[in-house]
């Protein structure tokens, strides 16, 4: 992740904070349409789950230029998600659904450079979570 990408992500996330709830719902709708079996992985209220997702996303965004600090937490999340039944294919669908949802939320602002920055960040997070799952 380059400093420029981290800056773009932080700036764009400010525009997402105000629509965090609808963005999370859009994300889960897209995820469940891509991977219907993921719906069974969520046993709690999906609105509450969306709040957790957006809180974690905010932490990731705040650390976008220093993901090393989040590595232990991301690996721990990977281990937890393994217990919930998450697979490698689920991570790919989550990444796609999240970037797709951000694109819908940010509309015209979501050009190729910003899309690549978000894609790179999401891929880095997914890789760390997969490593955590593999270590379990």
- The domain that holds 35 is classified in CATH as 1.10.490.10
In the numeric block, the tokens 């721990």 are attached to 76
Q: Which domain holds residue 93?
A: 3-135
In the numeric block, the tokens 């976008």 are attached to 64
Q: What is the pLDDT of residue 97?
A: 98
Cβ contact 118:106 at 8 Å: no
Nearest in space to 60 (alpha carbons), one of 134, 16, 122 = 122
In the numeric block, the tokens 């970037």 are attached to 99
Here the tokens at position 14 are 């400010």
Q: What domain count does the chain have?
A: 1
Q: What is the pLDDT of residue 136?
A: 86
| Tens place of pLDDT per residue across the chain (136 aa) | 899 999 999 999 999 998 999 999 999 999 999 999 999 998 878 999 999 999 999 999 999 999 999 999 999 999 999 999 999 889 999 999 999 999 999 999 999 999 999 999 999 999 999 999 999 8
Judged on CB neighbours under 10 Å (0-12, 13-18, 19+), 97 is buried
Q: What is the pLDDT of residue 127?
A: 96
Q: What is the pLDDT of residue 44?
A: 76
Judged on CB neighbours under 10 Å (0-12, 13-18, 19+), 131 is middle
pTM: 0.93
In the numeric block, the tokens 């602002």 are attached to 109
Cβ contact 94:57 at 8 Å: no
């Amino acid at each position: 992740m380059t400093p420029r990408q981290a800056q773009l992500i932080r700036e764009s996330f400010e525009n997402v904070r105000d629509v965090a709830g609808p963005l999370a719902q859009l994300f889960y709708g897209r995820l469940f349409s891509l991977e219907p079996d993921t719906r069974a992985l969520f046993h709690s209220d999906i609105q509450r789950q969306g709040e957790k997702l957006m809180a974690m996303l905010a932490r990731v965004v705040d650390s976008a230029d220093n993901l090393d600090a989040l590595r232990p937490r991301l690996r721990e999340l990977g281990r937890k998600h393994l217990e919930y039944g998450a697979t490698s294919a689920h991570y790919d669908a989550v990444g796609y659904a999240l970037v797709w949802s951000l694109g819908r939320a940010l509309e015209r602002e979501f050009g190729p450079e910003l899309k690549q920055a978000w894609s790179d960040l999401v891929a880095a997070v997914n890789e760390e979570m997969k490593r955590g799952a593999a270590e379990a």
